[in-house]
Structure 1
Amino acid sequence: MREFSLPLLVAPLRSGGLADSLYEVAAREPSRVLLAKRSPARPDEWTAVTATAFRDEVVALAKGLLADGIGFGDRVALMARTRYEWTLFSYALWSIGAQLVPIYPTSSAEQVCWMLSHTQAVAVVVEGEDHAMTVGAVCDRLPALRWIWQMDRNCVPELWARGRGVPDDLVDELRWSVEPQFPAVIAYTSGTTGRPMGCLISHLNLAAQCDTLLAGWSSLLAEPGEEPSILTFLPLSHVYGLVVQVACLRGGIMMGHEPRLTADALLAAFASFRPSFVFAVPYVFERILRCARGAAQEAGRGYLFDKALDVAVRYAEAMEQFVWGTGRGPAPGLKAAHAVFDHMVYKKLRAVFGGRVRYAVTGGSPFSRALGLLFAGAGITVYDGYGLTETTGAVTAQPLGRVRFGTVGRPMPGNSVRIAHDGEVWVRGSTVFSGYLGDPMATEGALRDGWLRTGDLGYLDGDGYLTITGRKKDVIITSGGKSVCPLMLEERLRQHPLISQCVVVGDNRPYVGALITLEPTALTRWQRMVDGSALNGRGVVSANQALHAEIQQAVSRANTAVSRAESIRAFRILPNEFSVADGLLTPSLKLRRSAIVKVYAAEIDQLYAG
């Protein structure tokens, strides 16, 4: 199949902007709880914020922004982690027709300077002193910048106070002047290569994305009779996190914020907030699984845990075949084993998310079929999707009750997917952006007759399900002329408990190689099981013969999925994981391949020495 489309599920936004839904909910259901704020003294306690209370805070902040000179159409940047004030500022800005410029809090001074100067932002809201210093270092190159507000220095109550003399009617007049096609957000691409580009995302784009999700998938958000609640921990500087925020506010779903993405912070937040549904990236599911496996191994139940995971995968695969009419479902013996492990293992795995989650969504990077089957077998069905900043998040998603693991689902209602002659995925729909800010040539290169050329490679099956096989620019061509897509090999290698990251290399080389990083906690635990002691420094890991043999087995298993010419012939274990801080991962945790190849050029050369 070369093209697949689905009709619209909801009518497009015909008037107004994103802020209107907040005012409508507050008028219709004033006591409805929209947000939950953490208690400063007790992080495990959450205070409910009603629609009326939040609207009043938004209006007060909007008046403060007006008092300080922020006007209709002005661009204001937000540089902070995921927290309550982020949501508050975004709705205050949209209430007065201003445009939001999200900036990752980990951005360098040069990146911040580029985005602020490119957008001609008149103000920036930062979280802490470090962010203020980053902006301050480039202020002399930003003539349009008039204000720097800092969340941790009480900028919100100060703006509330300055706006007391501004009439509420002025906020309403500006809000009513917003049209759906007006830009709501200028979202910068992660910049895996080159300088990031500003994507113009309209109120219409975000509303179409969120309203379609709510209309088609809201039944998954909570068990019947329960109120849905979502803990948002994805960066709100990324379009995926922004969609979660807007969907919650448009759908009247209680939302809490968690600014930290560490395993300990997430586990604590899940336990206290107890969400009914989870939006995450594959990294979160992988990390939680690693933590659970590690705990089982520490308790001497590692074999039992791995056996339970195997049963979960086989059970979910049998259920998938039953749904699609290609099998009879789990056999009696498999059902019995699954029931036993549900009580012993799966229930504890679900408890990690707070105990209420039965469905989740993942996106942002590849989610393997094996991981999807595993979680489904453990009682949490993860709906995978696919999208870009340019598509305002998801452009495909798994249909309700018809998940096909290993794919990214079918086009969402109102969208079309086409496979070009070279295998590139093209998409079209109401969520596709209008272009790149100030770059008509890049816009013309990306958009053709309404179709967005994604740069990804993939194929459609007979039912319209899309499978992504890699990025066009990531395709490796060996010196023998063989084209290799690294994605599948990297996914399969990352399924090994020890391997955290993998980069397949081999451009203009005689064969394919790989750079591999290891998960520190899993590595320490593995070493204790092998010889009873931890490694004396990670710098010696590549010399450890037992470890090399273990990783070689993982490489050999991954190679079974490809031809001999595409297989990994040599690999090197690196002493440290790639990170955002060292510039080798984007803020959305994607590999910066060109940067990795440059930094580890010597190690790559050694793969081919002799």
Structure 2
Amino acid sequence: MREFSVPAQVTIAGSANLTETLFSRAAEEPGRTVFRRKDGAGWRDVSAREFGDEVARVAEGLVAAGIEPGDRVALMSRTRYEWTVADYAIWTAGAVTVPIYETSSASQIQWIIGDSGAKAMFVESDEHEKAVASVRDDLPELAHVWRIDAPPSRPSGEGDEAVGADLDERRASRTSGDLATVIYTSGTTGRPKGCEITHENLLATARNTIEGALTEVFGLSEGSTLLFLPLAHVFARLIEVGCVEAGVVLGHTPDLTDLVGDLESFRPTFLLAVPRVFEKVYNGAEQKAAADGKGRIFRIAADTAIDYSRAASPGLGLRLKHAVFDRLVYTKLRAAVGGRVTHAVSGGAALGERLGHFFNGVGITILEGYGLTETTAPIAVNLPSDNRIGTVGKPIPGTSVRIADDGEVLAKGPNIFAGYWHNEEATKQVLEDGWFHTGDIGELDGDGYLKITGRKKELIVTAGGKNVAPGPLEDRLRAHPLVSQCLVVGDGRKFIGCLITLDPEAIEPWKEEHGKSSLSAAELAEDPDLVREIDAAVAETNASVSRAEAIKKYRILANDFTEETGHLTPTLKVKRNVVLKDFADEIEALYS
């Protein structure tokens, strides 16, 4: 059993809570810019005082509506400035935020609202209101539903002072051990469970990670980032809190279709994303180069960036080659994300080693981290001073990581959640003497760097008794530009198989380039030229594993996995159990 610990850099006082920093900054630095809001084609600065006033105004409306300390208030919306205002207003009123993905179905809404016992709810759109209305009869505790852009208003006239005084008491009544939010897991393997995250969990993780380990990345008072991940996800939520705590300027954008334009106008100093976003950036650049007749140049430039990153001491020839491509290719990629980004943090899933080296060679260092909802996002993260691509870094300050005898990764520290909401049995299964059992398989090297090698529950055991972790195979195969998603199968079978979907954004230029624009999706899946491309991708993937672990047969599906079809979570993870059920016939065909 191997274990590694990193001492905490910041400790949290017992009386601390998430509202202290925003109101103290509003009083001490009222003119300081803390947010930038989308305003037409540009961005408008939001001062610390303006943010504090808006939070207080909504919080007073919540108090006037009867929200009591400890009450749960649900929040369902895309990523936008008002989300953060509502979140902090709920905390200021002494209540607990229950985030819900804005893409959630009526049945998912019903489960989360009913399970959490939420008394009130913010929604963003007519569709959200209709979905809630369709299950409202089954939610007797839900007393209020407000639009996020029309929150409960502060009462006017008699009683104003009383509400204001009560608000101060509410804020002071919350301490570090009190519940701040119940975040429901995305449910890749079953019904979501509510993770109890305290004020201390968020404060300790944010301050130790952002103000401690990643100070250089976030830049603190001079840093800025544009948040486009869903705020219902723990990773984005921690960034929200971390930016408020550290005074980093935060922007929000809900529309990924215009993400490139927003990045160019906002010009962040660092980025945070899931691996699929970085894959899309790479694939998009490659497709654009191919469409312009410069596909070969881009591939050489990509290989040069990777070689440059991997080289401990690049030789003169490689340095000259890299300098040429920096002028021709890399500067354009950096400009596409605003031109000022030097670092990015990747979490939520595994980032391929090749992709990490590519961006590092381009001049954007991606720091891969690892964590779960139950660990308030990070357990470990790479640092700018020692970024070991292929690992997820060392434990964050204040956290210990242990590898159990069966290879499972265990974690302990102030980032570990309090337990599952109203589910003592599930809590006991994952928490033992303060150690959280992640369910992931990993390795710790002698310097304390963690590498995730698989998912304990997803390990495939072939008929021959070979244990195969599907994650590394899927990550490597998904890095191919034409591949959108894939699912490795083979539990109890003679060999490993795979289901593959094609990237709609990449396949159209490929069809045009190869004179196959008229082919339907079903015909394309059988096209010899396309199959040759996928064969090569599978062969390259298989080169990284033993013969017993290699993909022997695969099936190209006519349609991609999407969140709308129910096959992806909101953070673009494949719902393995749903895909296995819905594509049982296709899987069976691999072995017939």
Please give the range of the TM-score, normalised by the shorter of the 2 chains. over 0.9
User: Which residue, out of 133, 143, 147, partners 1:146?
Assistant: 143
Is residue 2:248 matched to residue 1:248? Answer: no
Partner Cα separation in structure 2 for residue 478 and residue 217 of structure 1:
42
1:526 Cα deviation (Å)? 1.9
The answer as to 2:553 corresponding to 1:553 is no
What residue number does 2:512 align with?
Answer: 528
Cα deviation 1:58-102 (Å, max 9, x = unaligned): 111111111111111111000111011110111111112100000
Does the 8 A contact of 2:213 with 2:396 survive in 1? no
| Compared CA separation, residues 461 and 83, structure 1 to 2 (3 A) | same
Alignment of 1:189-204 (within 5 A): 189-204=185-200
1:165 shift after superposition: 4.3
Query: What one-letter code is carried by the residue in structure 1 that aligns with 2:537?
Result: A
Distance 1:496 1:117 in 2: 42
- The equivalent of 1:402 in structure 2 is 386
Q: Are the equivalent residues in 1 in contact too, given 2:9–2:208 (CA < 8 A)?
A: yes
- Partner of residue 560 from structure 2, selected from 577, 595, 606: 577
State the shift of 1:16 in Å. Answer: 2.7
Once the two structures are superposed, the pairs formed by residues 272-287 of structure 1 within 5 Å of their partners are 272-287=265-280
* 1:260, distance to aligned residue in structure 2 (A): 2.2
Equivalent of residue 113 in structure 2, options 106, 112, 116? 116
Mapping for residues 333-348 of structure 1, pairs under 5 Å:
333-348=317-332
Query: Which amino acid is 1:24 matched to?
Result: S
What SS does the aligned partner of 2:278 have? helix
User: Gapped runs of 5+ residues in structure 1?
Assistant: 322-328
Q: Please give the residue correspondences for 1:75-474 in structure 2 after superposition, counting only pairs within 5 Å.
A: 75-151=72-148, 154-156=149-151, 159-160=153-154, 165-167=159-161, 168-213=164-209, 214-222=211-219, 227-261=222-256, 264-318=257-311, 321=312, 329-474=313-458
Amino acid aligned to 1:303: R
Q: 2: distance between equivalents of 1:275 and 1:142?
A: 42
Deviates more, 1:289-298 or 1:389-398: 289-298
In structure 2, the residue matched to 1:325 is none
Amino acid at match of 2:63: L
Asked if 2 retains the 8 angstrom alpha-carbon contact of 1:63 and 1:166, the reply is no
- 1:155 is paired with a residue whose SS is coil
Q: Is the 8 A contact 1:60 1:164 kept in 2?
A: no
Task: Identify if the C-alpha distance between structure 1 residues 163 and 82 changes in structure 2 by more than 3 Å, giving closer, same or farther.
Answer: farther
Asked if the contact 1:367/1:384 (under 8 Å) is kept, the reply is: yes
1:227 CA drift (Å): 2.4
Aligned ranges 1:570-609 → 2 under 5 Å: 570-609=553-592
In the TM superposition, residue 570 of structure 1 has moved relative to its aligned partner by: 0.5
For residues 185 and 150 of structure 1, the distance between their equivalents in structure 2, rounded to whole angstroms, comes to 20
User: 1:324 — aligned with what?
Assistant: none
* Letter paired with 1:256: G
Aligned partners of 2:434, 2:440: CA distance in 1, in Å? 17
Q: Is the 8 A contact 2:123 2:147 kept in 1?
A: yes
2:14–2:177 Cα contact (<8 Å) kept: no
Identity of aligned residues (%): 46
Structure 2 distance, partners of 1:6, 1:483, is 32
In the superposition, relative to structure 1, how do residues 529 and 584 fare at CA in structure 2: closer, same or farther (>3 Å)?
same
1:602 match: secondary structure: helix
- Contact conserved, 1:414 with 1:430, CA < 8 A, in 2? yes
Task: Give me the whole-angstrom Cα distance separating, in 1, the residues matched to 2:273 and 2:174.
Answer: 31
**Counterpart Cα distance in 1 of 2:22 and 2:118:** 25
Q: 1:163 to 1:53 in 2, by over 3 A?
A: farther
**How far did residue 533 of structure 1 move?**
3.6
Assess if the C-alpha contact under 8 Å between 2:265 and 2:338 holds in 1.
yes
| 1:399 Cα deviation after fit | 2.7
* 1:482-519 residue CA offsets vs partner (Å, 9 max, x unmatched): 21111111111112111111100011111110000111
Give the letter for the 2:153 counterpart: L
Question: Which letter does structure 1 place at the counterpart of 2:103?
Answer: T
Instruction: For 2:121, give the aligned amino acid.
Output: V
1:377-427 residue CA offsets vs partner (Å, 9 max, x unmatched): 000001100000000000101133100001100101110111111111000
* Matched-pair contact (CA < 8 Å) for 1:67–1:166: no
Where does residue 32 of structure 1 map in the other structure?
32
2-side partners of 1:160 and 1:302: how far apart?
A: 59
Letter of the 2:15 counterpart: S
Q: Could you tell me how far apart the structure 2 residues matched to 1:20 and 1:381 are? A: 33
Kindly state the Cα deviation for residue 222 of structure 1 after the two structures are TM-superposed: 4.5
Aligned residues of 1:66 and 1:163 also touching (Cα < 8 A)? no
Distance 2:487 2:530 in 1: 19
- In structure 2, the residue matched to 1:15 is 15
CA–CA distance in structure 1, aligned partners of residues 432 and 569 of structure 2: 27
TM-superposed deviation, 1:463: 1.1
The answer to whether the 8 A contact 1:459-1:467 is kept is: yes
Measured in 1, the distance between the counterparts of 2:101 and 2:512 equals 38
Is residue 2:3 matched to residue 1:3?
A: yes
Cα gap change, 1:164 to 1:551, in 2 (>3 Å): farther
Tell me the secondary structure at the aligned position of residue 354 of structure 2. helix
Q: Is the 8 A contact 2:219 2:248 kept in 1?
A: no
Question: What is the alpha-carbon distance in structure 2 between the residues aligned to residue 453 and residue 269 of structure 1?
Answer: 39
